[in-house]
Amino acid sequence: MSRRILHLDLDAFYAAVEQRDKPSLRGKAVVVGGSGPRGVVATASYEARKFGVRSAMSGAEAKRRAPHAAFLGGRFPAYHASSKVVMDLLREVSPLVEPLSLDEAFVDLAPSGWADEELPERVEWLRAELERRTEGLTASVGVGSVKFLAKLASEDAKPNGSRVLKPEEELDFIAPMAVRAIPGVGPATEQRLVGIGLYTVEDLRGADRRELIRELGQAAGHGLAELAWGRDDRRVEPQRDPKSISTEDTFAVDLTERAHLEQILRRDAAAVARRLTKAGFFARTVTLKVRFGDFTTRTIARSLGGATDDADEIAAAGIASLTDVDVRPGVRLLGIGVSNFVTAAQERLFDDGLLDGPGEPAVSSDEITEELDVPLSGVRGRGGYYPGSDVEHDEHGRGWVWGSGLGRVTVRFETRHSGPGRIATFAVDDPALKSVDPEPLIRGRQGWAGGV
């Protein structure tokens, strides 16, 4: 019996969460990120994608293509809450769940009790239950005998659909696909393959394996030949502990004031410490990341000599590392993170060590990094009033920031359970207005998860 692997991908996740929570934006172009002159798009709604906006595009280009789109800052607590609901649902189906990111996961269906003939019906139940529990999010789901076939099936089902591949149809399904569809084939590899006349997966099957190895190397050539025949022995690895937790800020203009940068580090260290405590870990290493206007990047990892989840200690280590950095050329991005986790606090036994290396740090799939791309004139806007952030007014209730500047904050008062709300403007220091956490999700478990 072949394995049955499910791949689930939430549709336009960040943007979909914003549209769900902001009724006035439903059916409209929404871009998360890209709000500053140096911003980068994190996610675009399908309405924005019709204008050519895509992830990793510069904010300037996105605004040129979709000038009337709503550009919002990230609300990671809302994204994490929805992601947790989805991952918990998947674990009700099978304990073998491998999250790839907040919005994507593999599931090994072997423990689920789902019979092959039931898969289409079971998958539709899963998608409907996910939409109900997340109060409106949708997902694309693919099922195949191996990981990469399941992922290709979910991509074929996008948006908001499903594709369950029967084992006997899998090879025909991938045969006409471009070689670029195979995981690990990027532009450079694709160019090499096209250069020797290999355009499709079917072409790869007919290629001389020795030629592939000569062109791409032993591991890549052999691996590509195996994938062309649908052979992928990677197992679904249940969620592992994160290897690092970090947060970054990209600034609208280069910052040169050390005191300002230290203030931002203290704020971000507090955010990292909260997430560290929530995860139940203590960190032994603090890493500072500084990117300058010319995109050169310096990272400094400082050993604490013990283990902590204390925000002040994390901030102190970051600030100590910052003293070794000349900020006069102007800082474009500043980040702080923690790693080397243990499950118990450890007192400091020796003086701080210092590891300093050039370039970007290695990033693993287990890294949890938050980057809020918001123009900063103070510390992520006064009171946290960046576009899209949650606020509450003593008289008017809950809403979200439509825009802010020149000492004013414009708020649209609505929630995911209301219709489109009215807009009002307040002074940024209005005591009746305050930042609040996102609304919690209230719908719980219901229905049929199978044999678990």
Mean pLDDT lowest among 224-233, 289-298, 346-355: 346-355
Q: What is the dihedral of CA 5, 156, 137, 126, to 10 degrees?
A: -40
Pick the catalytic residue: 18, 47, 98, 104?
104
Q: What is the CATH number of the domain that holds 203?
A: 1.10.150.20
Q: Say if strands 30-33 and 41-44 run parallel, antiparallel, or are unpaired.
A: antiparallel
- Determine, yes or no, domain membership for 402: no
Token pair for residue 124? 């539709």
Residue 332, in any domain of the structure:
yes
156 assigned to some structural domain: no
User: For 341-390, what is each residue's pLDDT tens digit?
Assistant: 887 765 544 333 333 333 333 333 233 344 433 333 332 334 468 899 99
Say whether both 327 and 360 belong to one domain.
yes
- In this structure, are 320 and 348 located in the same domain? yes
Please tell me the distance from the alpha carbon of residue 183 to that of residue 389, in angstroms, as a whole number. 36
268 and 335 share a domain? yes
The CA distance from 62 to 45, in Å, is: 12
260 in the same domain as 222: no
Stretch 194-216: mean pLDDT: 91
Q: What is the pLDDT of residue 357?
A: 33
Exposure letters 218-247 (e unless 16+ CB within 10 A, then b): eebbebbbebbebebeeebeeeeebebbbb
Residue 110's alpha-carbon distances to 49, 96, 449, in angstroms, are 36, 9, 13
pLDDT given at position 279: 83
Contact of 325 with 300, CB cutoff 8 Å: yes
Q: Which of 228, 252, 287 marks a domain boundary?
A: 228
Owning domain of residue 212: 177-228
> Three-state DSSP class for 125?
helix
Q: Is residue 107 in some structural domain?
A: no
128 falls within a domain: no
Q: Is residue 257 part of a domain?
A: yes
Assess whether 352 and 254 both reside in one domain.
Answer: yes
Question: Does 302 reside within a domain?
Answer: yes
Q: How many domains does the chain have?
A: 2
Residues 184, 210 within the same domain: yes
As a whole number of angstroms, the distance between CA 250 and CA 291 comes to 9
Q: What percent of the chain has pLDDT over 90?
A: 64
The reported pLDDT for the residue numbered 449 is: 54
Q: Which residues pair with 97 in a beta bridge?
A: 107
The whole-angstrom separation of Cα 419 and Cα 407 is 28
Classify residue 276: in a domain, yes or no. Answer: yes
Same domain, 287 and 213: no
- Give the torsion sign (CA, 254, 260, 262, 268): negative
Residues 249, 323 share a domain: yes
Length of the chain: 452
| pLDDT tens digits along 22-53 | 999 999 999 998 766 677 898 999 999 999 99
Same domain, 271 and 354: yes
224 and 264 belong to one structural domain = no
Q: Tell me the pLDDT tens digit for each residue of 75-120.
A: 988 999 999 999 999 999 999 999 998 999 999 999 999 999 999 9
Q: Measuring CA to CA, which residue among 4, 7, 365 is closest to residue 152?
A: 7
Q: Are 59 and 416 spatial neighbours (Cβ–Cβ below 8 Å)?
A: no
CA-CA distance, 316 to 262, in Å (whole number)? 9
Q: Which residues contact 306 (CB under 8 A, 6 or more apart)?
A: 284, 345, 346, 347, 348, 349
Q: Which residue has the tokens 């062309």?
A: 228
Final residue in a domain of this structure, among 185, 202, 228: 228
Contact status, residue 48 vs residue 33, Cβ threshold 8 Å: no
| DSSP strand pairing (353-358 vs 367-372) | unpaired
What SS3 class is residue 312? helix
Residues 357, 249 share a domain: yes
- Two tokens, residue 121: 């019906």
Average pLDDT, the chain: 87
pLDDT value at residue 33: 87
- What CATH number does residue 278 fall under? 3.30.1490.100
Judge whether 104 counts as a catalytic residue: yes
| Claim to verify: residue 291 and residue 341 sit in the same structural domain | yes
What is the per-residue pLDDT for 445? 60
At 265-277, the pLDDT tens digits run 999 999 999 989 9
Which phi and psi (to 5°) does residue 353 adopt?
A: -95, 165
Neighbouring-strand partners of residue 368: 245
pLDDT in tens, 253-263: 899 999 999 99
Res 447: pLDDT: 56
- Which pLDDT score is estimated for 380? 39
Q: What pTM did the predictor assign? A: 0.76
